[in-house]
Amino acid sequence: MIFVWQVGITAVISITVVFYLRGRRRQQTTTRMPLILFLAGLTLLAVALVSPLHQLAGQYFFARVTQHLLLIAWIPSLILSSNPLPTLQQGLPASWQSRWEVRPSLHPKIQQTIHIMTAPGAALLLFASVFWLWYDPVLHALSVQYTWIRPFEIFTLLSAAGLYWWHITGAAPHHHQPMPWVIRIIYVLIGVIIIKLVGLIVMFSETIIFLYPAPFHMPGLDIDGQRLGGMIFWIIGGSVFITTAIVLFSRWLAEEENKPSLPESTWASEEAMRAPGWEK
């Protein structure tokens, strides 16, 4: 089962890389940063799903936490920051591109439903709900006991996180109006709270919430696998979100600086300089 999983994920990642590189060649783009971000995201996806981390995540709680952080923060933020869809579309075979261009349009009511369900507020609610749901003690125990639940867990976490980061990065396709810079910064910082709440509860719990097959205890320290997982959530869980907020803030400042200055006639007139409520 593990072998089939590893081969399948590796094949999907490899095919995606081929299509992306073909798309870049056809676009004749020379910008390196999108390529670096995209390949970094796929590399971390391989680490999360193909490397020994995936098997360790079924044995140790702190390994599961590490895998989850990659799936909900690092991987989607890197991949979507590269805005990969236009490049991937260009890399598809010609027959596939033709089918994509002539695809039938959806019924207006279906389009409206999808628009509502993928709105920023709905995406944030889905992200928080899915993440918290997988840390429900009962559901989490089932995912540890039954390995066939793991693919569904990974798919839901990655999908919910992808929708959340889609609004933050502004990647294609553009079905919604981009959020103002201030709202986008607040939006990404809410993600820090979502992650750290779980870390706080787990780290200071007096009882074992999540039982795993392999016991873990750091020698010389009163730190078991559950507490270590909570520490990972608390210490580095918000790093991607905070870094993204800083990047968004710097872009906002740069945009404001690049705005053209108002002509002097607009702000230096007698009427503009008059105090509010003052009438001559």
Residue 270 — very low, low, confident or very high, per pLDDT cuts 50/70/90? Answer: low
Place of tokens 């593990």: 2
Buried b (16+ CB within 10 A) or exposed e, 127-164: bbebbeebbeeeebeebbeeeeebeebbebbbebbbbb
> What confidence tens digit (pLDDT) does each residue in 203-235 have?
999 899 999 998 898 887 888 999 999 999 999
Ordered by start, the domain boundaries in the chain are 2-92+109-258
Higher-pLDDT residue of 22 and 2 is 22
- C-alpha–C-alpha distance, residues 35 and 103, integer Å: 28
- C-alpha–C-alpha distance, residues 12 and 45, integer Å: 11
Q: What angle, 0 to 180 degrees and rounded to 10, lies between the N-to-C axes of helices 33-49 and 2-27?
A: 170
DSSP 92: S
Q: Is the pLDDT of residue 280 over 70?
A: no
pLDDT value of residue 182? 97
CA 228 from chain center: how many Å? 23
Residue 266 — very low, low, confident or very high, per pLDDT cuts 50/70/90? Answer: low
Shortest CA distance to 74 belongs to which of 175, 162, 189, 171?
162
Higher-pLDDT residue of 25 and 268 is 25
Structure tokens at 68: 């989850």
Residue 29 — very low, low, confident or very high, per pLDDT cuts 50/70/90? Answer: confident
Q: Which residues contact 158 (CB under 8 A, 6 or more apart)?
A: 71, 72, 75, 76
Structure tokens at 167: 């609004």
> What confidence tens digit (pLDDT) does each residue in 150-177 have?
999 999 999 999 999 999 999 999 989 9
- Average pLDDT for residues 120-132, to the nearest whole number? 98
